[in-house]
Each structure stands twice: as structure tokens, then as C-alpha cells.
Amino acid sequence: MTANAAAITSAPAVTDEEWDARIRAAKAALGERLLILGHHYQREEVYRHADVTGDSLKLSRQAADSRAEYIVFCGVHFMAEVADILTRPEQQVVLPDLSAGCSMADMANLAKVERAWRELASVLAPDETVTPVTYINSAADLKAFCGRHGGIVCTSSNAARILEWSFARREKVLFFPDQHLGRNTGHRMGIPLEQMVTWDFSQPMGGLTPEQIRAARIILWKGFCSVHQMFRPEHIDRFLAQYPDARVISHPECSFEVCQKSEFVGSTEYIIRTVAESAPGTRWLVGTELNMVQRLHERHRHEGKSIHFMSPTICMCSTMFRIDPPHLCAALEALVEGRVINRIQVPPDEAAEARLALERMLQL
């Protein structure tokens, strides 16, 4: 058990109002030495304390541009790693709860990707014919893998531009860890579905034949987001049967079938902007994480906009949900006392290679 967890479990019962007051007091004591980052999927009682909100890359870049000594990232592990890679050495990145991971990122670890690269070498010369592209929702060591193999990082906003860059250099792409972002992006670029194969990392050679590998333009890792995987095309059909004039917007981590039935597809920032710019009285069905959808509904209800969560089943990012007021409070109060707990540090050699892959993306 970490010191952070031990302090929380041993503490007497504290009300929500008391946690809120303690967090505000710690923020005031730390002043400009502190910057709290809040991802869009974060629960509201934590999100309200963020100094900057946004998607993971935006938050990390703003942290790097800040003069804050302590960066407290209310998100998940890979996000804090990116912040550590991009910030200056004197800045320290803290994740309030070290168990806040990402199930999608965990589906592609370095050992599995390196094995896939070796297996591809039995059919292709991957360092000459394949560009490795990792979604930013991945561990730092996979970003480093892309850095040393001529690859790059992408986000849900720039995936098409990154694939264009990749194809300009090599004829194929190995895209991990999210198959849906890769497939939806490739299809929008005009790549036929039959030229996008799925690499099943639990099977030898990804479950593919040499002929399938040679014919493929995009090799999609068999990973997915547990939240966006829950949205189904029939959810859209039922909603539109009840509200024919509604508009449907989805995150590209949703399945191909859901994105095909959606009028708009884009990143969290794109979804927020598109809903905000829509006409008063518009009704929306949104395929992304519950906390963000609820926040959008509350933000725009005074305009007569109705914003609905796509799935009939409540599904939120359970690992993001682990960042709660007690953990945030414990991290901040430790900083007030001069202790840094749950610091995220990427090893220097790994960080240098990962930064290379990130900088290739940022230069675009």
C-alpha cells in the first residue's frame, strides 16, 4: 500500500464539503508553484479543481509552457508520462492515484509489440516497409519504440495527418493500441477495409497469413477502449426512431459501425466544440465517456440543448474514476508539507526516444 493510500484508508470519515475545502486550502498554500490538470473524462468533484482542462496532449503541452514546479495530473498513467516527457527537468509530475491506468493502453505492452515486430520480420523487412504509429493512449516505452523505429505518435485529432506522413515514408503502418481509431481514420482516407487487417496479439503471427500481411496497408492492433466499445449501432437506431431530428456525434474510438451511423466523428475537443457551436434547441446523442456528456448537458441546457449519453448502460472510465477528492487532497497536502508522493518519472533514455516520436508529431 502506498503512503497516499494508507493516509486515506486510515483517515476518519470526511464529508465531501470538507475534502473540497482542504483541496482549496492546499491549492492556496501552493499558489503558482502548482498546476492541476483535469482531463475531460474526470469526475466533476475533481474536475472543478483543475486549473487547466482538456485532452491529454493539450494538458501536457500547457504544463510544459507553465512555470509551475508541481504538475498534478488528474487523468491516467500514460497522460502523466507524456507530461513528464514534455515538461522541464525541474518540474515534477504527480498522479494522485497510481492505480489510475488505461485498459486500452495495457492491451499493447512493449513485449507484445516487439514480438509482433519480430514476427513481421519473417514476412517483411519492417524497418524498411512499416511505420509504427502509436496512439497517445499508450505507455512511454511504446512511444520510445516508435521513436527508435522511425515511427510517430498520433492523437484522435491528427490521426489522418499522421497516417499521411507515415505512408509518405513507408508503404505500411502498424497502428496500436486502438484498432477502432485506426480503422475509422483509414476508411475516411479511402483505404478499403480489406486492406486493414487486425493483429491479434494473442495469436502467433497475429492470426494472419503471410499473404494477408503483404496485402495490408494498415495492420491494426486488436485493442480497444472499454468505454467506447459499449456503444452499439442499435443504440443510435433506437434513439433516432424516437428523435428523428437528433444529431449523432461519436469519438473515433467507437466501433466502425457506430461511426458509420454518426453524423459527426471526432476527438473530445471536437465534440465539445461541435455541440457548443450548434443551434439552440438542438438535440444530441453523444458517444463518449459519461462524465463529459453530463458536463456538456449541464453546460448547454440553458440554451435548450438536450445532450444524451449513447449507451443505455452507465459506463464511465473506471480507471480515471479512481482519481477522487481524497487522493487529490492527499497529494496536494503532501506537497504543502514538502513531500512529493506518486511522482511519475520516465527513465531518461526511454524519455528521449519517446520525445523523438512526440516531436515528429508536434512538428506536423
pLDDT tens, position by position, 1-32 = 454 554 454 456 889 999 999 999 999 999 99
Pairing of strands 152-154, 172-176: unpaired
**Is 4 in contact with 96 (CB distance < 8 Å)?**
yes
Question: Cell 473540497 sits at which residue?
Answer: 20
How confident is the model at residue 11, as a pLDDT? 52
**Is 20 in contact with 325 (CB distance < 8 Å)?**
yes
- Among the listed residues 364, 363, 361, 349, the one whose alpha carbon sits nearest the alpha carbon of residue 148: 349
Q: What is the pTM of this model?
A: 0.92
Question: Cell 514538502 sits at which residue?
Answer: 338
Domains of the chain: 3-101+319-346 (3.40.50.10800), 105-224 (3.40.50.10800), 228-309 (3.40.50.10800)
Residue 285: CB atoms within 10 A of its CB come to 25
How confident is the model at residue 253, as a pLDDT? 97
- Among the listed residues 173, 171, 127, the one whose alpha carbon sits nearest the alpha carbon of residue 153: 173
Residue 114: CB atoms within 10 A of its CB come to 13
Residue 279 above 70 pLDDT?
yes
Rounded to an integer, what distance in angstroms lies between the CA atom of residue 115 and that of residue 132? Answer: 13
Residue 203: CB atoms within 10 A of its CB come to 10
Cell numbers at 30, concatenated: 501552493
Give the pLDDT mean for 233-256.
98
**Is 300 in contact with 283 (CB distance < 8 Å)?**
no
The 10s digit of each residue's pLDDT in 81-98 is 999 999 999 999 999 999
Contacts of residue 102, Cβ cutoff 8 Å, sequence gap at least 6: 76, 77, 78, 137, 319
Type of residue at 68: A
Cell numbers at 266, concatenated: 471526432
Question: Cell 516508435 sits at which residue?
Answer: 146
- Output the 3-class SS for the chain: CCHHHHHHHCCCCCCHHHHHHHHHHHHHHHHHHEEEEEECCCCHHHHCCCCEEECHHHHHHHHHHCCCCEEEEECCHHHHHHHHHHCCCCCEEECCCCCCCCHHHHCCCHHHHHHHHHHHCCCCCHHHHEEEEEECCCCHHHHHHHHHCCCEEECCCCHHHHHHHHHCCCCEEEEECCHHHHHHHHHHCCCCHHHEEEECCCCHHHHCCHHHHHHCCEEEECCCCCCHHHCCHHHHHHHHHHCCCCEEEECCCCCHHHHHCCCEECCHHHHHHHHHHCCCCCEEEEECCHHHHHHHHHHHHHHCCEEEECCCCCCCCCCHHHCCHHHHHHHHHHHHCCCCCCECCCCHHHHHHHHHHHHHHHHC
Which residues share a beta bridge with 135?
Answer: 154
Residue 352 above 80 pLDDT?
yes
The 10s digit of each residue's pLDDT in 186-223 is 999 999 999 999 999 999 999 999 999 999 999 999 99
Give the pLDDT band (50/70/90) at residue 315: low
Question: CA 274: distance to chain centroid?
Answer: 19
**Is 177 in contact with 137 (CB distance < 8 Å)?**
yes
**Average pLDDT along the chain:** 95
Rounded to an integer, what distance in angstroms lies between the CA atom of residue 177 and that of residue 193? Answer: 18
